[in-house]
Amino acid sequence: MSRVRAGVVAFRPTVAEAVAGVVLLLILLAALWPSLLAPGDPLAVSHTDAFQAPSPAHLFGTDESGRDIYTRVVHGASESLRIGVLATAIGIGLATVLGFVAGLGPRWLDFGTTRFVEVLFAFPGLLLALLFIVVTGPGVLSSTIAVGLATAPGYARIIRSQVRRTAAAEFVEAARVLGRGRLWIIARHILPNVIAALFVLATLGLGQAIIWVSSLSYLGLGAVPPAAEWGAMLAAGRTYIANFWWMTFFPGLAIVASAAAATVIGRGLQKRNRSAA
């Protein structure tokens, strides 16, 4: 009981972090249980309601087919978040393998892997993702994988240096002297020490992944209309930006808010993680 309270006191969020936390919770709720926040059908067309400005009946207004933008933004959260989480998982998963191989492997393997990662790193991430989509063809799955692959090199470098630092620590040395197996050392000593950093990376990466996936949909390479995906909604609204600002504003706001919230939380975790270490 007292330990929990101590924990809560120690984790004193700043105002920005509190707001970010609320935003993330809302997005999570929207993703897991969209009909709680917006009971309507995000694909329901209503000719008579097209191009309505925001009003109490349509909080965020309606689009060119009379679909309610609030409902679409809420239902779009699951799509954007799912793709974001999946892409980050692919990126970090791949990076973990690369990072451990480079960090713990023999010198030649480290050299090879590091050079490979550096070559990939030289490409702007989005370009790498586009390259992948050119080969595999557009779609939600390929854009998810593309973003995952494109983010992996950046993570791999960080993980490698974490792994090397931990592997050189005295307690790992001690375990080795005690004759512990290689895998046992990785599982019991190195991984737990890298995982905190991984968690921070994942939170930060989520924001970035959401932006990238939205960018790809915006370019018409991800989700296909009329799917309620934020990037695709932004692209559809772009045509009407001269007269109907709400069609781009609210999906754009959702992208900015979720990416910013993930980044604020990630930075907060990073800071505490560092001061704890």
Considering only 3, 5, 47, 107, the residue that binds another protein (CB under 8 A) is 47
For another protein, the closer of residues 25 and 224 by Cβ is 224
For residues 170 and 189, what is the distance between their CA atoms, to the nearest angstrom? 11
Three-state DSSP state, 62:
strand
- Residue 186 sits in the site that holds another protein (CB under 8 A): no
Residue found by looking up tokens 């504003």 in the block: 249
Considering only 43, 53, 127, 174, the residue that binds another protein (CB under 8 A) is 43
- Residue 51 sits in the site that holds another protein (CB under 8 A): yes
- In a 10 Å sphere around its CB, with 0-12 CB exposed, 13-18 middle and 19+ buried, how is residue 209 labelled? buried
Judge whether 129 and 151 are in contact, CB under 8 Å: no
Q: Which stretch binds another protein (CB under 8 A): 21-29, 44-52, 93-101, 119-127?
A: 44-52
For another protein, the closer of residues 131 and 219 by Cβ is 219
DSSP annotation of 224 = P
For residues 163 and 187, what is the distance between their CA atoms, to the nearest angstrom? 12
Three-state DSSP state, 68:
strand
Considering only 66, 161, 175, 191, the residue that binds another protein (CB under 8 A) is 66
From residue 211 to residue 250, the character string flagging contacts with another protein as x (rule: CB under 8 A) and all else as - is ---------x---xxx---------x-xxxxxxx------
Judge whether 209 and 87 are in contact, CB under 8 Å: yes
For another protein, the closer of residues 202 and 235 by Cβ is 235
For another protein, the closer of residues 243 and 275 by Cβ is 243
CA distances 38 to 20, 69, 249, 252, Å, are 21, 10, 19, 18
What are residue 83's phi and psi, to 5 degrees?
A: -65, -40
Q: How many residues bind another protein (CB under 8 A)?
A: 22
For another protein, the closer of residues 16 and 50 by Cβ is 50
Interaxial angle between packed helices 107-122 and 140-167, expressed in degrees from 0 to 180 and rounded to the nearest 10 = 140
Considering only 21, 37, 40, 64, the residue that binds another protein (CB under 8 A) is 64
**Minimum CB separation from another protein for residue 67, in Å?**
9
For another protein, the closer of residues 25 and 44 by Cβ is 44
> Could you tell me the two tokens for 130?
């586009």
Q: Which stretch binds another protein (CB under 8 A): 37-45, 120-128, 156-164, 188-196?
A: 37-45
For residues 157 and 247, what is the distance between their CA atoms, to the nearest angstrom? 40
**Minimum CB separation from another protein for residue 46, in Å?**
9
- Residue 119 sits in the site that holds another protein (CB under 8 A): no
Q: Which residues bind another protein (CB under 8 A)?
A: 43-45, 47-48, 50-51, 64-66, 220, 224-226, 236, 238-244
